[in-house]
Structure 1
Amino acid sequence: MLPSSEIFKSLVEFKTPVFVALEEVADLDGTCKSLINSYLTETDLIDLLAIVKIQAIIDYMYEQVNIGNWKEVKLYLRKTITIASYLLLLAKVKCTIEVTESLVKEFYKIIDFGIMFGCPVDEAPDLLQNCASYLNSLSLLPHSITETSNKNQDKVNVENNKYNANLIEVIDCPSMEHFYKNYIVAEKPVVLRNCINHWPALSKWRDQNYFIKLAGARTVSIEIGRDYTESEWTQKLMTIEDFIKDFIFQTNGSTGYLAQYQLFEQIPELKEDIIEPEYCCFADKDEPVDVMAWYGPKGTLSPLHHDPKKNLLTQVVGEKQIFLFSPQDSEFLYPHEHELLHNTSKVDPRQPDLLKYPKYKDAKVYYCVLSPGQMLYIPPKWWHFVESLSISFSVSFWWN
């Protein structure tokens, strides 16, 4: 295994642009800023006491960013978390005598905490991701192999006509002009085939051990519970390896779901396995496309809801059944009264309670089963209910 001094030497090479990034946290109090600057300037000053001081800065910043509305958090606080997390990583490596498996996992936890609760600094936007990629290239962790079972991979059999629904149109890789005119402008859902046959993910992601080998020690946020409208629903930070072992192949207990998660920003190596569909170019604003991961066992679901953006829901592994409703049918779908759930319906289209929700009978139901290699275009404000029929990995592309 590579000596810790060599790892430290390589990680220090990432620090040059961080000096300039200190200008981005100009509002930081003098004591914190002075400590950060001193450790960046003189890495010889980094010792066990430095670990305590840097961790204290991170803890204080974390407290500050959790006060009030997340959207109103001042960026310099989050940028400080990013910079301090990098320094904490340096300090942990420098003060390490022997690089053990448990320490390597701790290195990754430091990085992922900084990514999740910090934000990119302008001068080094991929600072922590680059640190993780470097550690990953060293293969410091054994390649864990999880025990898998085929029983959970069998998909749920679904009768297409069971729900008295209109099947969504399925077409082969349309031209850009045809897609824009007939679906974007018309705001009409459609299933697209043979558009992502070139994605490496279609073959690589079928093996759960691929994720363990590539990113098993990385920490992510997992949703625990049936769906986000339930009172017992919660979120938990855990490693990808623990998520796979505890939830992907389990049929009993709580459901775990890596849902609506910016996994590809956190772990760029996974982003190399996918390619942004060219159809996303039909945008009203010059903004980047939001790319989200949805990874979970059979039975995970998103309750009937709508989103403000265009969406290409791309199925990579497994199958999902999806119900869609036009925005014109919103009055028949009984949205929740609570402000935070106003875009979510009370109705379960699989088993609608017509005594409780009588107007639902007037809604026009659209339906499809999305298979690996297919994409479903969901226009803005269209209601959709999504359920995994097997172990599933989907990628959604959202844009305005």
Structure 2
Amino acid sequence: MSSPAANIATAISTPTLDSESPALLQSITSHGGYAFTRMATLAAAGDQRAAEAACEMAWEQLHSGPWHSVLPVWRDAYSMACLHVAKFHLSNGEFRDALRSLDMGIIMGGPLLRKDLDSAIEGVLAAKSRHYHNEVADNDKEGHGEAGSRLLVSPQEFDKSEVLRILPIRSLSSKIVGKRSALSLEAFLCEYFLSGSPVIITDCMAHWPARTRWNDMDYLRRIAGDRTVPVEHLS
């Protein structure tokens, strides 16, 4: 099993940051960010505390006044710090914290490093998925795996009497009711809707992955449970 530390180079690749870092740090310094530049340089050299300190410094600058008055360079600085912090979280196997750092970089950061952030999120999710599947495989080998995934909606048997109670009486007056599998919209309109004939349509959603995936709590937590999203109050 490969460790998160072994996957860090491929999970979080930052080509834009690598090429734009000198110019970005110079711009930050020219706007008074000497301390940030120092911390960011140490973070790039492998200092996790420096990465966290740089993130806090950029965060303070983002909240130094109204959003429209924040210098764009500090938004890019925050994105840079978030990428550094996420790398350390991933190397420690902290997938949730890594994703949160990257999501915050997207929400609050600037456009310069957006591609790096998006790519890093895909990499962390892939590394997390591999880690999850390896754990499941290990549990199955040891006999500790669950019998099945937890479903949000439990399958229920078809209750014909309940359907007859709900349906209007006139809807049951037709002696012949057709039953078609995966009927197209065009065929439904031409063959049944225009003539007012009833029809039972089946299997129209059988190919939808959401029928099973969105009903699996483990799947939802695995792909979206650790993501951070902005919430705005509209009055």
TM-score computed with the length of structure 2 as normaliser: 0.56
Q: How far is 1:17 from its partner? A: 2.8
Q: How far is 1:83 from its partner? A: 0.8
RMSD: 3.1
2:100 to 94, 104, 109: 109
Q: How far is 1:204 from its partner? A: 4.6
Amino acid across the alignment from 1:108: L
Amino acid across the alignment from 1:2: S
Residues 145 and 72 (structure 1), Cα distance of their counterparts in 2 relative to 1, 3 Å cut: farther
Is the contact made by 1:85 and 1:111 (CA closer than 8 Å) also made in structure 2? yes
Residues 11 and 212 (structure 1), Cα distance of their counterparts in 2 relative to 1, 3 Å cut: closer
Q: Which residue of 1 aligns with 2:121?
A: 132
Provide Cα deviations, 1:4-52, integer angstroms capped at 9, x if missing partner.
231223246x234313322135134223213323443x4xxx1xxx222
Greater helix proportion: 2
Is the contact made by 2:78 and 2:108 (CA closer than 8 Å) also made in structure 1? yes
2:38 to 34, 37, 41: 34
Q: How far is 1:205 from its partner? A: 5.1
The SS at the match of 2:229 is: strand
Residues 57 and 35 (structure 1), Cα distance of their counterparts in 2 relative to 1, 3 Å cut: closer
* Alpha-carbon separation, structure 2, partners of 1:205 and 1:38: 45
* Alpha-carbon separation, structure 2, partners of 1:17 and 1:215: 26
Provide Cα deviations, 1:85-109, integer angstroms capped at 9, x if missing partner.
1111222334x2xx3xxx2212111
Q: Which residue of 1 aligns with 2:172?
A: none
Q: Which residue of 2 aligns with 1:215?
A: 224
The SS at the match of 2:230 is: strand
* Alpha-carbon separation, structure 2, partners of 1:114 and 1:35: 17
Greater strand proportion: 1
* Alpha-carbon separation, structure 1, partners of 2:14 and 2:234: 40
* Alpha-carbon separation, structure 2, partners of 1:112 and 1:127: 12
Amino acid across the alignment from 1:147: L
* Alpha-carbon separation, structure 1, partners of 2:5 and 2:76: 27
Is the contact made by 1:80 and 1:118 (CA closer than 8 Å) also made in structure 2? yes
Q: How far is 1:136 from its partner? A: 1.6
Amino acid across the alignment from 1:63: E
Is the contact made by 2:86 and 2:97 (CA closer than 8 Å) also made in structure 1? no
TM-score computed with the length of structure 1 as normaliser: 0.35
The SS at the match of 1:77 is: helix
Amino acid across the alignment from 1:84: A
Residues 71 and 204 (structure 1), Cα distance of their counterparts in 2 relative to 1, 3 Å cut: farther
Amino acid across the alignment from 1:125: R
Instruction: Give 1:184-333 correspondences, 5 Å limit.
Output: 203-204=208-209, 207=214, 209=216, 211-222=220-231, 228-229=234-235
1:118 aligns with 2:109: yes
* Alpha-carbon separation, structure 1, partners of 2:70 and 2:151: 40
Structure number, greater radius of gyration: 2
Is the contact made by 1:136 and 1:214 (CA closer than 8 Å) also made in structure 2? yes
The SS at the match of 2:226 is: coil
Provide Cα deviations, 1:336-373, integer angstroms capped at 9, x if missing partner.
xxxxxxxxxxxxxxxxxxxxxxxxxxxxxxxxxxxxxx
Is the contact made by 1:82 and 1:119 (CA closer than 8 Å) also made in structure 2? yes
The SS at the match of 2:28 is: coil
Q: Which residue of 1 aligns with 2:184?
A: none
Count of matched residue pairs: 160
Is the contact made by 1:205 and 1:211 (CA closer than 8 Å) also made in structure 2? no
Is the contact made by 2:79 and 2:109 (CA closer than 8 Å) also made in structure 1? yes
Higher RCO, Cα 8 Å, sep 6+: 2
Is the contact made by 1:145 and 1:212 (CA closer than 8 Å) also made in structure 2? no
Residues 56 and 220 (structure 1), Cα distance of their counterparts in 2 relative to 1, 3 Å cut: same
